[in-house]
Structure 1
Amino acid sequence: MRKILFMIHDLSVGGAEKVLVNLVNNMDHEKFDVTVLALFDEGVNRQFLNKSVKYQYVFKRTIPGNSHLMKLVSPRKLYSRVVSEGYDIVVSYLEGPTARIVGGCPDGETKVVSWIHFKMHTQNEIAWSFRSYQEALECYNRADIMVFVSEEARQSFLNVCPVKCKTTVLYNTNESQKIMQQAMETVDNIKFEKEFFYWCGVGKIVPNKGFDRMIKIQKKLLAEGYQTKLLILGTGNQRTELEKWCKENGIFDTVQFLGYQTNPYKYVSKCDLFVCASHEEGFSTAATEALIVGTPVCTVEVSGMKEMLGNNEYGLITENNEEALYQGIKALLDQPELLQHYKEQAIIRGKTFSTKNTVHAVESMLEAL
């Protein structure tokens, strides 16, 4: 049995944290002895870890400026202080401090994996949690393999940081059967009225996710006479600001902020359209989940979307700006047959991201090490 450590900053509401829980829960625990180590014991996703997965943490609460504080200690010393046991494989499941820590692994027999979830464009982006770009390059080269969530993320990284270690692309794990089951649950707090077109977005309510774009588009659609309602599922530090904007612009009654939902699928599956308005993504978990439940997807072009949706084959991709996204959504409103086409295509594409396929790909990679 291979002893594996997955290391992550915390288990908060983010997509990477969620798909890590999905992955470790569904691995073959007769083949893999799995431990998840969080630097900080925080996050709603802790509760979803199976009992067969060991859980450890370093600090009870998040320490402000922790990434800067960790730079005061070398990667090797950090590793020796954070990792108390021996493992066959150690995995940094997210870029940031954990990538620096596993880069300090002193045991040549322990295999090291660094997992990248975001598209990086500059040396500064790659080096933000390291003392320098050179240290980042050295730590990433300590890895036996680097894993990227999309081909775009891999190519972007390698253009800036040409590591010598092996690299691969593995898609995120979604619990597809569970998602489908939860999608069938009833919704009590919203009455989906037939005369309205419901569209939604899911994620942290932070500037990068582009929810401000979505509420502005909602205002434009209403001004043009479309009967639309927007659902926003998630929580974050921008929520109060966006709610205030909706009230000041007279659209608060048509935008519903639903907060963090342990089951967002029952809402997404009942919407006419899922929208991703993000400025940046790695490989959107929320968009993948929308496909699994059969909801059409309209997205701005971010990393991974062309791999997910093809050349507008399985969903509609627009340029990454508010006006282009607005025109894309309006085109789907004006062409019900096109919307129906993408609904049918979503169901087909969603089957690609089955739990079995994605977990098997990860297990095969780990076994090959």
Structure 2
Amino acid sequence: MKKKILIRIGSLRHGGAEKVLINFLKNLPEDKYEVDLLINLYTGMYIKEVPSWVNLHYLIKGEMITTNKPHEIPVKAFRVLYQKMFLLFPFLLYRFILKNKKYDVEIAAIHGMYRELLSSPQKDSKKIIWIQNDIFNLKEYTPDVIRQLFRFDRILVISNKLKEEMQKVARNDKEKQSVIKIFNPIDKADTLNKANTEISDYPFSSQIPTFITIGTVYPQKGYDRLLDVHKKLMDEGLKHQIIIIGDGFDYENIQAKLNLLGLQETVKMVGFRSNPYPYLKKADFYVMSSRHEGFPTIIAEALILNKPVVSTDVSGIKDLLQDGKLGIITANSEDGIYNGMKKFLTNQELANHYEKEIAAADLPFVLQKSVAKLQEIIDQL
């Protein structure tokens, strides 16, 4: 008998959690499981990558709305109410959209889906939540909300730091044991393959050292700090360039700051790229200036491409950079970022040192290892 699994996520637009889910689904054996994937909003670049044997359901079709233009407000309001209806009356969802199917396991593929899963009318199904961010740094995750997560049979976390934080909140051994660390699966072959694509719009041509950073332009990514650090280093005569790949609601603010600081020649914001890997491959270093993260998948991909990394000390980074063996981990501050970048700019041997360490390392987030671990968790329930 195939295990029947329901997986829920908000959408399949570009993002770490979405990509992880697709990598996972592509590598699950279809003869073992019957998978229904339910997304709130049918949109995103990963829709076309969902394997054909997975049954795809959705609540609403349409593009993500990230602005508040007057004509968009009614559409946004309708979407919120429609989704809320299914949260308040989950039996409607299971009857009409999921056609009364019985599940053995229900999985929230992202922490934001915890309410939806806990309100499931199927009380006998085993429930798993996959926490893809440092929820202890998110305002809405109060101690009361975090307590609710222990109603899940298994809590998957993506770093040792998150595991420790969750286990501190646990009230007994059973709760402690429900927290399992699992590395997000990264498809090494796919990353290397995509990195070899030819690009014609790489923004820099000179031999000046180039840092790259990739991610949605939100305040949590700390791009404002990165610009200040860049200016300070340039003023000290340490020439270098920065490429920022990504879009998001903070894009205009960061672009305005960049212009205000007069950095148009040395910092380029190139917007969203569905394949950022050729840019990453061409750059010299990866810099992560984030204020907080869950498991920064992009760091794993930078390691696959053998790039020296400098990153703030956010959740998941010590696991990925093996406590600093594979890259520079700095204090989570502007000074920290400054000191880390300065090390690379003033010591040319350092990059070679890290490249050798990365090449020799056994990277634990490789696809097969992570997928096998996740299957084991599902099978044991």
- State TM-score, norm by structure 2: 0.87
Q: 1:273, CA displacement in angstroms?
A: 0.6
What is the aligned-residue RMSD (CA, Å)? 2.6
When residues 162 and 123 of structure 1 are mapped into structure 2, their CA distance, relative to the original with a 3 A threshold, is farther
1:152 to 161, 167, 175: 161
Pair 1:293 & 2:305 matched:
yes
DSSP 3-state at the match of 1:4: strand
2:71 is aligned to none
2:213 is aligned to 201
Pair 1:120 & 2:120 matched:
no
Pair 1:7 & 2:21 matched:
no
When residues 214 and 90 of structure 1 are mapped into structure 2, their CA distance, relative to the original with a 3 A threshold, is same
- The percent of aligned pairs where both chains have the same amino acid is 27
2:187 is aligned to 175
For residues 202 and 216 of structure 1, what CA distance do their matches in structure 2 show? 18
1:107 is aligned to 122
1:66 to 55, 80, 96: 80
Q: 1:270, CA displacement in angstroms?
A: 1.5
Asked whether the 8 Å contact 2:229–2:334 carries over to 1, the reply is: yes
Matched ranges for 1:20-169 at <5 A: 20-61=21-62, 63-64=76-77, 66=80, 70=84, 74=88, 77=91, 80=94, 83-84=98-99, 85-96=101-112, 98-121=113-136, 125-127=140-142, 133=144, 137-138=147-148, 140-160=149-169, 162=171, 164-165=174-175, 166-169=178-181
When residues 353 and 110 of structure 1 are mapped into structure 2, their CA distance, relative to the original with a 3 A threshold, is same
Pair 1:212 & 2:213 matched:
no
DSSP 3-state at the match of 2:275: coil
When residues 300 and 12 of structure 1 are mapped into structure 2, their CA distance, relative to the original with a 3 A threshold, is same
When residues 67 and 150 of structure 1 are mapped into structure 2, their CA distance, relative to the original with a 3 A threshold, is farther
When residues 300 and 122 of structure 1 are mapped into structure 2, their CA distance, relative to the original with a 3 A threshold, is closer
DSSP 3-state at the match of 1:353: coil
DSSP 3-state at the match of 1:38: strand
Show structure 2 runs of 5+ residues with no match.
65-75
When residues 220 and 38 of structure 1 are mapped into structure 2, their CA distance, relative to the original with a 3 A threshold, is same
For residues 362 and 241 of structure 2, what CA distance do their matches in structure 1 show? 25
For residues 253 and 38 of structure 1, what CA distance do their matches in structure 2 show? 42
Q: 1:211, CA displacement in angstroms?
A: 1.2
Asked whether the 8 Å contact 1:113–1:146 carries over to 2, the reply is: yes
Asked whether the 8 Å contact 1:199–1:229 carries over to 2, the reply is: yes
Amino acid at match of 2:155: M
For residues 225 and 82 of structure 2, what CA distance do their matches in structure 1 show? 32
Q: 1:356, CA displacement in angstroms?
A: 1.1
When residues 210 and 122 of structure 1 are mapped into structure 2, their CA distance, relative to the original with a 3 A threshold, is closer
After superposition, give the CA deviation of every residue in 1:290-348 in whole Å (9 maximum; x if it has no partner): 11111111100011111111231111100000111111111111111111111222334
Matched ranges for 1:215-364 at <5 A: 215-349=227-361, 351-364=363-376
Amino acid at match of 1:29: E
